[in-house]
Chains A and B, each alone.
Chain A
Amino acid sequence: MADTARTYTDDDIDRWAPDTGVAHDARNLQKKFTTLGISADGTWLLGQCQGSGKEPYQVSVDLADAEKPTFRCNCPSRKFPCKHGLGLVNCWVKDKKKFKAQEPAADLLAKREKNVERKRKIAEAPADAPAGDPASSGPASSGPAKKPNTAALKKKIAAQREGLDLLEKLVLDLASSGQWFEKTRLEKLRRQAPQLGDAYLNAAMYLLNRLVLIGDMEDLSDEERMARGADLVAQLWQTTQKGKAYLDERLDADDTQADADAVMEGILGKTWQLTELKEHGYWGTDLKLIELAYERYDDHARAQRMEISHLLDLNDGRCLQGLTMRPFKGMQFINEQPSYTQVLTVAEAAIYPGYINRRVRWKGGETGEDVTKAHLKAAYAKALPDFKPAFDALKQQMKHPLAPREAVFLVRVAKIGPVGEQVVLEDARGMRLEATNRPRDDAPLDSRKRRASKKKKRAGVPEPVNLSCLEQAAGEFACCEPAVLARLYLLPVASRVVAEPLALLTPDRHLRLGF
C-alpha cells in the first residue's frame, strides 16, 4: 500500500485546525467515513464522510506539499480546514490499513495543477509587483514585499501625527484637571479611544482602553487605582513624545534601530510582513524550538484573545513567543495559535523587533520530532543559573519607557516553598522571587464580580491554575533543582518584581503549569 512522504501525527492535526473544537470534532469522525482511499504516489488522501445531508461529503487532502497540505471538502462549513479534512488525516494517523488504493478524480488533479501554477507565478513575480495580503496578521502572509504607496504612507503619517496631537491634548487635559477616574471623564475617554484607532494608533488606543477599565474597576483600592492610572497616563505621555519623535525621524541617543522598530510596532500598531522583516534583518535560520508553555487569555483593553506559545530555542537558549492575537469580533475567522508537543526544526523564521522575548513567526516548512530526554536535557542546560541575570535584564528592559514591564525567562531554582501565605522561588545564591498568578484584572466588571464572590466563599482559591500547580509539584521537583519558566513582572505600586510560573523542567521531565 502507498504511504505518505511524511509521517503525520495528532500534533499536525492540532496545528492545522482553525480552533480546538474543529480538532476535537475531527477526531470523532472516524466512523462517519464510508470510504477511505490513498493514491498510488501517496500524495492524495480521499474520503467520503457522511454528514447531516443525504449525500456524503467528498473530502480530499492534497499532500503534494507534505508540510502544508491542501484540504478540500464540499461541506458548507466556513471553517478552514473543516473537520472533515482533518478527520480524514486523523483516520490516516489512526489506521492506515483502512485506506484502499484510489486515484483522485480529474477535477482534483486540475485543481492541483492550478495551485502549482499560481505558486509558480507568485514565485516568479518581480519583487515590486503587488501581492500578498497587506492586512494579514496570520502566520502565513505570502508573496513578495508590497511596493510602498508613497501617497498613502504620507496620508497615514499625517493621520498618526494628528492622532498623537489628539492624544497629547487628552493626556494634558487629564493631568490638568485631575480626577481622571470620574465616570463622566471615563465615558469621554471611552468615546475618544476609537479615534486613536482611526488614526492608526492602535497601541495607544489599547492603553487608553486599559485606563478606562482600571477607572471602572470597583474592587481596587484607591491607592492602587491611582498608582496604576498614573502609570498608564505616564506611558501615554511617553507614547506621544516618542511617537512624535519617531514620526519626525528623531531617535534618542540611546535608542537603537531595533528599539525604534519595536516602538513603531508598539505605538503605531504596525503589522509586519514576513518579507519586510527579512529585509530589515529580523530573521533567523535553523531554529530548534521546544514549546515549554502555552497560554491563552482575553485582553479586554485590546478586545483580543491573546494566545502565546513560549518557545525555547535549543540552539541559543532564547525564549521566543509564537503569538496570535484574535479580535473578539470575528475570532472564528482567525486560526488559533498552534501549541506544539514536538520539537520543531524551523529552517527560516521571522524574529520580530522587540525586547527580551521576541515574537517568532514562520511560514510552514517546519519539521517535528518527538520530545526526548536529550531534548529536555538540552533545554534544561539553557536555563539561567540564577535569578540575577534575569532580574537585571528585566530592569534593563524597563529602562525603555515603552517596553513591556515583564519578560519570560528559564531559570534554575534551588528551593520552592511557602513563606507565610506566599510561595517563594529561591535560586542557588539565595535570591528570592515571589511566585504568583498573573492577575487578569482588566476583565469586565461582571466576570470579576463572579470571581470575587467565589473567592469570598473559598478564600485563597485563585482562578488561574499556575500557582496551585507549582505548589502541588514543588515537593516532587524540589529535590532535583528544576528550571522554572517564569514570567517576571513588575508590580507598580509596591515596585516589586514577582514571577508567574509557566513550566517546570528537569533534565528528564517537563511539566506545563498553565494553559
Chain B
Amino acid sequence: MSREQLLDLASELDRLLAAGARSASGSDALRRRAKVVDDLSAKVPALVPLKEAIDKVLTAPAKDAPNALLDLLAKARLMRAGLAESTVPGEIGAVLSREGCQTPLPAKRAHELYDNFVGGGGGKHGALQEAIEKKEINDLRLQRVLVDSLDDKDAGFADEVADKALPLLGRAVLSDLLATLDLAEGDAGDARRLKAICRIDKKQGADLARKALKEGSQKVLIEALELLPEVVPVAEAEKVGVEFAQDKRAPVRAAALKALVTSKDDAALALVVEKVGEKSNDVSAAALEVLGKLAHPKTADRVMERARDLIDNLTVVPKRSPTRKKKAAKGAKKPAKKGAKPAVKKLTDEEIGKLQSKRWQELNLAQSLLYALAQRPDLARQDVADFAAPLMKHKEYQVSNPARMVLIAVGPNVPDALPTLKKLIESSTGWMLNPVVEMLKKLPAKDRAVLLPSLLHAASKGYVPFGVAQGLFEMLREHAATDPKPFKEYLERALKKKEPWLWNLAVTQLLEMDTTASTPYFADALDGYLGFGNSYYTPGYEDLLKLLRRDEPDGKKSVARICKTLAATKKTDTKLNLLRLLAELGPVAAPAKRTVEGLLKDRKKEVKTQVAKTLEAIVPT
C-alpha cells in the first residue's frame, strides 16, 4: 500500500511541476500526501528527508518555491528508483516449439540487410536477391522484417519475398504469418501471406485456401484460386475452378481459370478454350496463359483446332472504293464490258471499317492462341509441325510469326519437321534467333547437335544479339568435346569480326579454355583487337593482357603487329592502350623502341608520359 501512496506522491509532483512551483505551497493535494508521508516516515526513517523536503515546499516563500520543488523532485526521483519492482503476476503460458533458430550473420550485415529491406528505393531488390543467393536469409533477426515486407508498397519486392525468401525460412515463420493473416478483409499483403503459407506448409495452406474461397476478400480469394492447384487434389481444384469461372467479377473468373491448370477434364479444357474469346482482357489473358501449361493431353489439339478455325474463316475485307480525287484522276467511268459479272453491292467505308476491326480481332486472337501453343511442353509431334509449317507462309504477320515460334518449339525430334526447322533457323536473323537459342538450350546436347550448323549459319549473317552469341558459345563448347570444329570456326569468326563485345565474348571463352586449346588463337585475338581502330574498350584490353600473359609470355610475335598499328593510329586511346601493352611485355618488346620513340613528339601530354613509362619498361636503364 505504502508503495502506491509514494508513487502517487511522485505523480502529484509531476503535476505540480507542470502547474508551476508557486501553486505547490498552497496545494491541498500535496498537503494530503504530506500527511501520508509523515505517518510513513515515523516507521521508515529513510523517508524523513522526503518529508522534510515536502514541508519545505509547503512552507517556502514564493521566491524559494522553485528551489524547494526541484529539491523535492530530485528526492522523489530517487524514491521512484528505490521503489522499483519487477513482478509480473500470472501463469506463464506455453511457448512456440520450433527448431533451428540461428543468427549466423555478422551484426553489421544483418543490420545492413534490415536497413535495405525496410528502406525505400530499388536497392532492396538487389539486396534480397544477393541475400537469397548467398543463403543469408535464414537469420532469425530478419524474419520479422521479411514478414512485414509482405505489406511493402513495392509490390514487386513484396512478391519476391513471398515467392522466394519466406519459403526459405520454412516453418519458422508460419506462426508469424498466421498471426497477421486476415482472410476476410485481407489486402494484397494477406494474399502474399497466404501464398507464403501455401509454399511452406501445403496442408495448412490448403485449409486456409478453402476457407478463403468461402469468406476471403477479393484479393485473398483470387490468390487462393491461383494457389489451389499447388495445394489441393486435382479434382477439387477443377471443381472450384469451374464453379468460380462463372463469377460476376472478371479478376475472379481469371483466377478461376488458373485453378484449372492441373486439370485433365474435357469440360475444363472446353471452358478454358471458350474463355479465350471473352471480352474481359483479364479473363482472356488468363485463359491463354492456362492453355500454355494446362495438363489436359488434348490441349494442343484443341488449341490448334481453334486457331485453324479462326485462320481459315478470317473475315474478308473488300477493298475500299477509290476516293473522289482518285476517281477524277482515273477519268470518266468506263462502260461495262459485255458478259461482265453483275456489280456486287458496294459497302460503305464505315462497314468496311467494322469488317477490318473484326478481322483484326480474329487475327489477334489467333496470334495469342499460337503463342500460347508455342509455350506448351508437349509439341514434339509431327501433327504440330504439319500445322505450323504452312502457317509460316501466311500473309498476315500475326499468324506467320507465332507459327515460326510453334515450329521452333516442336524442336528437332520430329524427323519430318527437321528440314523445315533447319530452313527456318537459317532464314532467321537478329532477335528472331533468341527463341531458337532458348529452345536449343533446353534440349539435351545430343538432340540439339543437328540444328547447331543451321544456327551457326544464321548467326553468320547480319546482326546477332548478345544473348544468341553467348548461348551459341555455350552450346558449341559443350559439343567441342565430340566435334571441336564448329566451336573453333565460330571463335575465329568472332575474333575477327569488328564487334568489340563479340570479340570480348570470344576472348572470355579463350580465357576459360585450357592453355593448349586456346594458344593458336592469340594471334587472332590480337589482330581482332588491333583491328578495332579505336581500342577504347578497356575490359577487352584487360582480357587481352591476361591472354597474352598466359598464352604468349614472350610476346615476340606480337610486337611487330602492335608497332604497325601504333604507327598508323591517330587515336589517343589506342596509342595509350598499345603503349601499355608494350610496357607489359617488357624487354621482349625492345624491337618496338623506335616506334615508341616516334611518339615522343606526340601532341598529347598523356601519350608522352606513357611513352616514357613504356620506354623504361622495354629498354630498362
B365 at the interface (CB under 8 A from A): no
A469 at the interface (CB under 8 A from B): yes
* B70 lies within 8 A of A172 (CB): yes
B143-160, CB under 8 A of A: which get 1 and which 0? 111001001000000000
CB contact list, B57-92 vs A, under 8 A: 65-67, 69-71, 73-74, 76-78, 80-92
Across-interface contacts of B7 in A (CB, < 8 A): 495
A511 at the interface (CB under 8 A from B): yes
* B18 lies within 8 A of A24 (CB): no
Across the interface, A172 reaches (CB within 8 A) one of B66, B87, B91, B101, namely B66
B132-144, CB under 8 A of A: which get 1 and which 0? 0000000011011
Across the interface, B20 reaches (CB within 8 A) one of A171, A176, A512, A514, namely A176
* A461 lies within 8 A of B86 (CB): no
Distance between A367 CB and nearest chain B CB, rounded to angstroms: 19
* B78 lies within 8 A of A424 (CB): no
B44 at the interface (CB under 8 A from A): no
B82-111, CB under 8 A of A: which get 1 and which 0? 111111111111111111111100111111
In the bound complex, CA of A167 to CA of B7 (Å)? 28
* A498 lies within 8 A of B101 (CB): no
In the bound complex, CA of A14 to CA of B19 (Å)? 53
* 8 cross-chain pairs, A with B, having the tightest CB-CB distances, nearest first: A178-B20, A294-B107, A398-B81, A175-B66, A417-B92, A419-B90, A234-B73, A226-B14
In the bound complex, CA of A171 to CA of B70 (Å)? 8
Given contacts A34-B542, A419-B88, contact A476 B111 (CB under 8 A): no
* A416 lies within 8 A of B90 (CB): no
* A497 lies within 8 A of B84 (CB): yes
A477-515, CB under 8 A of B: which get 1 and which 0? 110000000000010100111100000000000011111
Q: Known pairs A237-B73, A511-B103. 20 more at Cβ < 8 A?
A: A20-B108, A175-B21, A175-B73, A179-B18, A227-B10, A391-B86, A399-B82, A401-B77, A417-B92, A418-B95, A420-B90, A432-B86, A433-B86, A469-B101, A471-B95, A475-B97, A478-B95, A495-B84, A496-B84, A515-B107
B17 at the interface (CB under 8 A from A): yes
Across the interface, B73 reaches (CB within 8 A) one of A10, A34, A233, A394, namely A233
* B94 lies within 8 A of A417 (CB): yes
A174-194, CB under 8 A of B: which get 1 and which 0? 111111110000000000000
* A512 lies within 8 A of B86 (CB): no
Across-interface contacts of A229 in B (CB, < 8 A): 14, 17-18
* A475 lies within 8 A of B148 (CB): no
A468 at the interface (CB under 8 A from B): yes
Across-interface contacts of A498 in B (CB, < 8 A): 86
* B81 lies within 8 A of A511 (CB): no
Across-interface contacts of A426 in B (CB, < 8 A): 92
* A422 lies within 8 A of B140 (CB): no
A1 at the interface (CB under 8 A from B): no
Across-interface contacts of B176 in A (CB, < 8 A): 468
Across-interface contacts of A476 in B (CB, < 8 A): 97-101
Across the interface, B21 reaches (CB within 8 A) one of A10, A176, A497, namely A176
* A230 lies within 8 A of B14 (CB): yes
In the bound complex, CA of A322 to CA of B93 (Å)? 37
* A181 lies within 8 A of B18 (CB): yes
CB contact list, B196-233 vs A, under 8 A: none
* B180 lies within 8 A of A514 (CB): no
* B78 lies within 8 A of A401 (CB): yes
* A178 lies within 8 A of B151 (CB): no
Across the interface, A468 reaches (CB within 8 A) one of B15, B102, B143, namely B143
* A475 lies within 8 A of B90 (CB): no
Closest to A181 in B: B18
B621 at the interface (CB under 8 A from A): no
A227-249, CB under 8 A of B: which get 1 and which 0? 10111011101100100000000
Give residues in A with beta carbon < 8 Å to B.
10-11, 14, 20-21, 23-24, 34, 50, 54, 171-181, 223, 226-227, 229-231, 233-235, 237-238, 241, 293-296, 336, 339, 341, 387, 391, 394-395, 398-399, 401, 405, 415-420, 422, 424, 426, 431-434, 454, 457-458, 461, 465, 468-469, 471-478, 490, 492, 495-498, 511-515
In the bound complex, CA of A468 to CA of B172 (Å)? 12
* B17 lies within 8 A of A238 (CB): no
Number of residue pairs spanning A and B whose beta carbons lie under 8 angstroms apart:
222
Closest to B99 in A: A476
* A230 lies within 8 A of B17 (CB): yes
Closest to A477 in B: B101
Given contacts A179-B18, A238-B74, contact A23 B108 (CB under 8 A): yes
Across-interface contacts of B87 in A (CB, < 8 A): 432
B482 at the interface (CB under 8 A from A): no
Distance between A447 CB and nearest chain B CB, rounded to angstroms: 11
* A395 lies within 8 A of B148 (CB): no
* A475 lies within 8 A of B111 (CB): no
In the bound complex, CA of A181 to CA of B19 (Å)? 11
Distance between A341 CB and nearest chain B CB, rounded to angstroms: 6
Across-interface contacts of B17 in A (CB, < 8 A): 174-175, 178, 180, 226, 229-230, 233
Closest to B63 in A: A176
How many residues of chain B get a CB closer than 8 Å to chain A's CBs?
71
Across-interface contacts of A515 in B (CB, < 8 A): 107-108, 110-111, 114, 141
B11 at the interface (CB under 8 A from A): yes
* B14 lies within 8 A of A227 (CB): yes
Show 14 A/B contacts (Cβ-Cβ < 8 Å), sorted by A. A50-B542, A176-B20, A230-B77, A234-B70, A241-B74, A296-B111, A339-B106, A391-B86, A395-B81, A401-B74, A458-B148, A472-B96, A476-B97, A495-B83
In the bound complex, CA of A2 to CA of B82 (Å)? 63
* A226 lies within 8 A of B73 (CB): no
Distance between A107 CB and nearest chain B CB, rounded to angstroms: 15
Across the interface, B76 reaches (CB within 8 A) one of A234, A433, A512, namely A234
B51 at the interface (CB under 8 A from A): no
* B85 lies within 8 A of A497 (CB): yes
Across the interface, B95 reaches (CB within 8 A) one of A339, A416, A420, A469, namely A416
In the bound complex, CA of A95 to CA of B106 (Å)? 21
Closest to A222 in B: B18
Across-interface contacts of A474 in B (CB, < 8 A): 95-96
In the bound complex, CA of A23 to CA of B80 (Å)? 46
B313 at the interface (CB under 8 A from A): no
Distance between A164 CB and nearest chain B CB, rounded to angstroms: 14
Distance between B193 CB and nearest chain A CB, rounded to angstroms: 11
Closest to A417 in B: B92
* B106 lies within 8 A of A431 (CB): no
* B74 lies within 8 A of A234 (CB): yes
Across-interface contacts of B97 in A (CB, < 8 A): 475-476
Closest to B102 in A: A511
Output the residue of B23, B70, B172, B180 with the most chain A CB within 10 A: B70
B112 at the interface (CB under 8 A from A): yes
In the bound complex, CA of A391 to CA of B92 (Å)? 21
Output the residue of B91, B140, B151, B576 with the most chain A CB within 10 A: B140
* B101 lies within 8 A of A511 (CB): yes
Closest to B97 in A: A475
Across-interface contacts of A172 in B (CB, < 8 A): 66-67, 70
B323 at the interface (CB under 8 A from A): no
Across-interface contacts of A241 in B (CB, < 8 A): 74
B451 at the interface (CB under 8 A from A): no
Across-interface contacts of B102 in A (CB, < 8 A): 511
Across-interface contacts of A422 in B (CB, < 8 A): 88
Across the interface, B101 reaches (CB within 8 A) one of A235, A295, A394, A473, namely A473
In the bound complex, CA of A461 to CA of B147 (Å)? 10
Across-interface contacts of A10 in B (CB, < 8 A): 106
* A472 lies within 8 A of B86 (CB): no
* A20 lies within 8 A of B112 (CB): yes
* B20 lies within 8 A of A398 (CB): no
Given contacts A50-B542, A497-B86, contact A471 B96 (CB under 8 A): yes
In the bound complex, CA of A176 to CA of B71 (Å)? 13
In the bound complex, CA of A233 to CA of B69 (Å)? 11
In the bound complex, CA of A468 to CA of B179 (Å)? 13
* A458 lies within 8 A of B151 (CB): yes
Output the residue of B19, B92, B145 with the most chain A CB within 10 A: B92
Across the interface, B109 reaches (CB within 8 A) one of A20, A226, A227, A391, namely A20
